[in-house]
Structure formats: structure tokens, C-alpha cells
């Protein structure tokens, strides 16, 4: 079954896409928790969470991080919080690895 993020990659459901290359896509979170709240997502849904991604393809994880840095510079002042919820009890709802990029003036409580 394609994940909701794979369906965004396939343009089956709409999203406000802010970056895309052959391995990574980034779009605005539908329920933003900060002035800038983007999701950076490897296109492959082979990895459920960041630990799986780090073990299997550390270069792709590094690309997710550098994409987050680039987008924080474009959409805010270059400073950002990077969150990978990992597991249901940690708040993960989509089991296709993704980084939350939170920026643009964060309060203490603005955790995704």
C-alpha cells in the first residue's frame, strides 16, 4: 500500500511542494505547528523511521538534513528544529520516514 507521502510524490493527492529532486521531496505540513513547518521526505517508503534510514542509507539521511538546512534558509533565517517522531507512542502517525522542519520563531512548546 502506498503511504500518504508516496501518494503526494505520485501527485495522487495535492500538497504545497517546496522542493523536489530524484530522491527527496519537501512540502508544507497540512497542520502546521510553527510559522514554518515543512516535511522533508525520502521518496522511497522502504524506511519507516529515521533509525531504519540511518542504518540502511546514511547518505540519504544526510541529504534529508541538508535539504532541511537549505529550506530553513529559504523560508526562515536558516535556524531550525529537526524532529523525527519514531514510533506510535512518540507521536508518529505516518510510517514513511520524514523530518519535520520547524522554523520562523519557535516557542518553547512548539514541538511537533
69 or 86: CB nearest ligand 5GP: 86
Tell me which of 4, 54, 106, 111 binds ligand 5GP, using CB under 6 A: 4
Residue 98 is a catalytic residue:
yes
26 or 76: CB nearest ligand 5GP: 26
Query: Could you say whether residue 9 binds ligand 5GP (CB under 6 A)?
Result: no
Q: Report the distance separating Cα 40 and Cα 4, nearest Å.
A: 14
Long-range contacts of 16-19 (CB under 8 A, 24+ apart): 18/71, 18/74, 18/75, 19/67, 19/70, 19/71
Looking at residue 31, the DSSP 8-state letter turns out to be S
Q: Which residues bind ligand 5GP (CB under 6 A)?
A: 4, 13, 15, 27-31, 39, 85, 91-94, 112
Amino acid at each position: 500500500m502506498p503511504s500518504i507521502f508516496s501518494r503526494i510524490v505520485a501527485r495522487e493527492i495535492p500538497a504545497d511542494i517546496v522542493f523536489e529532486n530524484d530522491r527527496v521531496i519537501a512540502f508544507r505540513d497540512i497542520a502546521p505547528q510553527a510559522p514554518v513547518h515543512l516535511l522533508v521526505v525520502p521518496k522511497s517508503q522502504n524506511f519507516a523511521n529515521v533509525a531504519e534510514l540511518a542504518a540502511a542509507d546514511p547518505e540519504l539521511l544526510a541529504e534529508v538534513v541538508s535539504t532541511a538546512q537549505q529550506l530553513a534558509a529559504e523560508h526562515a533565517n536558516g535556524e531550525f528544529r529537526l524532529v523525527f517522531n519514531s514510533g506510535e507512542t512518540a507521536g508518529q502517525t505516518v510510517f514513511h520516514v520524514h523530518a519535520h522542519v520547524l522554523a520562523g520563531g519557535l516557542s518553547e512548546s512548539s514541538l511537533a
